[in-house]
């Protein structure tokens, strides 16, 4: 009796996909999250209280839980409208490697961008909005092709950069009422997420194959 390594059947590298393999499911997730944002804003308008006060209050322990809630809160309909298309497009494209990978990327962006705002954001204001997520997903989409060495993803990044290059101005201070801290830390978190997930994918590829039995 002897053993030989089993050669797995070749399969498409999910990490290098440009579009989700299940586009309907990805679109449903993106739409569902966007509808959640609209539902929360509607509730905020109807109820007598102000849900936006549950956002991030920088360097205040009582405002730390705003890291969890800030991305689903918006300072009015115009704020939400401005975030809608980027949230829909970027979240859909970010699901190319699967919804599980998307959930991990989103969690990294959500927490890192929120903590960044809590640490360095203005202490006299409450920060809300999904733009930190949008910047994080965009940054993830811009650099994932470099880490994954995927020409298709790099091409998509070039297109996204051409269409949404104006968003990059939001990374700089100077626009009153705009949280450049949330945008900046969201973008940094997106780069971090792309790097971490690419390393995870590479470690799985280098794992030794399971041995198989050969009678003789």
Tell me the per-residue pLDDT of 71-105, one tens digit each, with 9 for 90 and over. Answer: 999 999 999 999 999 999 999 999 999 999 999 99
Tell me the per-residue pLDDT of 183-209, one tens digit each, with 9 for 90 and over. Answer: 999 999 999 999 999 987 565 555 444
Q: In this predicted structure, what is the pLDDT of residue 8?
A: 45
The candidate with the shortest Cα–Cα distance to 82, out of 186, 167, 189, 185, is: 167
Residue with tokens 């945008």: 183
Residue with tokens 């944002």: 37
Q: In this predicted structure, what is the pLDDT of residue 205?
A: 53
> Would you say the C-alpha torsion 160, 164, 166, 172 has a positive or negative sign?
negative
34/27 Cα distance (integer angstroms): 11
State yes or no: pLDDT of 4 exceeds 60: no
Secondary structure element (H or E) that encloses residue 148, with its range: helix 131-148
Which pTM does this prediction carry? 0.87
State yes or no: pLDDT of 210 exceeds 50: no
138/100 Cα distance (integer angstroms): 18
Q: In this predicted structure, what is the pLDDT of residue 15?
A: 86
Tell me the per-residue pLDDT of 21-31, one tens digit each, with 9 for 90 and over. Answer: 999 999 999 99
* Alpha-carbon separation of residue 203 from 4, 11, 97 (angstroms): 22, 17, 16
State yes or no: pLDDT of 1 exceeds 60: no
Q: In this predicted structure, what is the pLDDT of residue 201?
A: 58
Residues in the chain: 216
Q: Which two tokens stand for residue 154?
A: 């790099």
Residue 3 DSSP SS3: strand
Report the DSSP beta bridge partners of residue 213.
Answer: 3
Task: Tell me the mean pLDDT in the region 17-44.
Answer: 97
All residues at 6 or more sequence positions from 133 whose CB lies less than 8 Å from its CB, including other chains: 71, 87, 91, 106, 109, 110, 113, 186
* Alpha-carbon separation of residue 92 from 12, 25, 38, 198 (angstroms): 19, 9, 18, 19
Tell me the per-residue pLDDT of 150-179, one tens digit each, with 9 for 90 and over. Answer: 999 999 999 999 999 999 889 989 888 889
The candidate with the shortest Cα–Cα distance to 133, out of 117, 144, 122, 120, is: 117
Task: Tell me the mean pLDDT in the region 28-49.
Answer: 96
Q: In this predicted structure, what is the pLDDT of residue 9?
A: 37
């Amino acid at each position: 009796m002897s053993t030989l390594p089993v050669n797995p059947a070749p399969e498409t590298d999910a990490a290098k996909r440009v579009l989700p393999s299940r586009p309907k499911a990805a679109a449903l997730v993106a739409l569902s999250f966007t509808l959640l944002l609209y539902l929360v804003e509607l509730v905020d308008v109807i109820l007598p209280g102000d849900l936006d006060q549950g956002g991030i209050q920088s360097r205040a322990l009582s405002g730390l839980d705003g890291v969890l809630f800030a991305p689903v809160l918006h300072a009015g309909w115009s704020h939400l409208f401005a975030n809608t298309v980027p949230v829909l497009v970027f979240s859909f494209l970010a699901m190319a490697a699967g919804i599980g990978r998307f959930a991990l990327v989103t969690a990294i962006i959500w927490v890192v961008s929120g903590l960044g705002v809590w640490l360095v954001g203005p202490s006299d204001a409450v920060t809300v909005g999904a733009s930190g997520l949008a910047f994080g997903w965009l940054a993830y989409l811009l650099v994932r092709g470099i880490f994954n060495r995927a020409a298709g993803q790099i091409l998509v990044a070039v297109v996204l950069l051409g269409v949404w290059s104006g968003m990059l101005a939001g990374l700089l201070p100077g626009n009153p009422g705009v949280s450049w801290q949330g945008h900046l830390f969201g973008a940094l978190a997106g780069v971090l997420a792309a790097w971490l997930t690419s390393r995870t994918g590479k470690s799985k590829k280098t794992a030794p194959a399971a041995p198989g039995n050969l009678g003789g």
